[in-house]
């Protein structure tokens, strides 16, 4: 598709059948106009960070999109809402969380969206699945920095 931008999306959930929720979200990405799913990582189990509740299931998807970054964020939020996402407080347990990690080579700093994602470099649950599908995006040094965080490929 002409005019496509490569973007990477983090997926996470820790309420209900989190693994199935992530599989459903990946299917929803496939069906969203303006988004073409390129690939998705394996699913990973991780302990909550700065949060509570059960372990999280995480993944990263690579998409090619004709949507602007704000429109991509809106599409992701629509998928979250369809899955029953609520935001009662910061870092609350989640039925589904979708974050734009990277949007081409863009640097975006708005009240609604920051790209690259500001905390991705400190989180194994983002870096390990991202490295799986796009190893050129994650250096060994960055991976080593999060090596103490527990993460298990499912």
pLDDT digits (tens, 9 = 90+) for 34-91: 999 999 999 999 988 777 678 999 999 999 999 999 999 999 999 999 988 766 556 5
In three state form, how does the secondary structure of the chain look?
CCCCEEEEEEEEECCCCHHHHHHHHHHHHHHCCCEEEEEECCCEEECCCCCCCCCEEEEEEEEEECCCHHHHHHHHHHHHHHCCCCCCCCCCCCCCEEEEEEECCCCEECCCCEECCCCHHHCHHHHHHHHHHCHHHCCHHHHHHCCCCCEEEC
User: Residue 124: its pLDDT value, please?
Assistant: 95
Tell me the pTM: 0.92
Class of domain 5-153: alpha beta
**CA distances from residue 16 to 68, 71, 79 in whole angstroms, order as listed:** 31, 28, 16
User: Residue 41: its pLDDT value, please?
Assistant: 98
**Using 50, 70 and 90 to split pLDDT, how confident is the model at 151?**
very high
**Using 50, 70 and 90 to split pLDDT, how confident is the model at 2?**
low
Q: Where do the domains of the chain lie?
A: 5-153
User: Residue 47: its pLDDT value, please?
Assistant: 86
Query: Is the per-residue pLDDT at 126 higher than 80?
Result: yes
User: Residue 90: its pLDDT value, please?
Assistant: 61
Active site residues: 85, 94, 97, 99
Cis peptide before 116 (omega within 30 of 0): yes
């Amino acid at each position: 598709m002409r005019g496509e931008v490569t973007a990477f999306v983090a997926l996470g959930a820790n309420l209900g059948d989190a693994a199935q929720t992530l599989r459903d979200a990946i299917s929803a990405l496939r069906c969203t106009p303006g988004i073409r799913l390129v690939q998705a990582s394996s699913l990973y189990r991780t302990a909550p960070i700065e949060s509570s509740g059960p372990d999280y299931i995480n993944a990263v998807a690579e998409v090619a999109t004709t949507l602007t970054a704000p429109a991509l964020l809106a599409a992701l939020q629509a998928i979250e809402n369809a899955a029953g996402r609520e935001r009662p407080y910061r870092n609350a347990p989640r039925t589904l969380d979708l974050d734009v990690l990277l949007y081409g080579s863009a640097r975006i700093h708005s009240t609604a969206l920051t790209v690259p994602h500001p905390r991705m470099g400190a989180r194994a649950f983002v870096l390990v699945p991202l490295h799986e599908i796009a190893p050129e995006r994650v250096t060994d040094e960055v991976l080593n920095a999060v090596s103490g965080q527990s993460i298990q490929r499912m």
